[in-house]
Amino acid sequence: MQTARPAPPSVPLCRPRHRPQIVTTTGAPTGHQLGAPVPALVHFECHLCQKATVPSPSLAIAELRWTDPDLASQLIPISHLARARGAVLARMPAAHAA
């Protein structure tokens, strides 16, 4: 399940009149190991730009990926979010995910 809320005014816009959102995703993605913990992951996205940050369990990291131009490699097409989320969860140690 995903819940979205507008990014706060302190977060710079990607472009004028765009409205980036903070999205929290809960629940296991398709193919995730049954019974393995699944923490909520957060990402920023803009549907007008069709860009999103790589998901993270930390809102602070997601915001940094959105606002820091040096982290442009952490921006992906929105269509790649499901795959990126699965990859993040697969790399996450079980102890950290709990």
Nearest 10 degrees: Cα torsion 58, 2, 16, 62: 10
Contacts within 8 Å (CB) and 24+ apart, 24-27: 25/1, 25/55, 25/85, 26/1, 26/2, 27/1
Q: Model confidence over 2-26: pLDDT tens digits?
A: 999 999 999 988 899 999 999 999 9
**Cβ atoms 54, 74 nearer than 8 A:** yes
Q: Model confidence over 25-53: pLDDT tens digits?
A: 998 777 777 777 789 999 999 999 999 99
Predicted local confidence at residue 63, as pLDDT: 95
Structure tokens given for 24: 């929290």
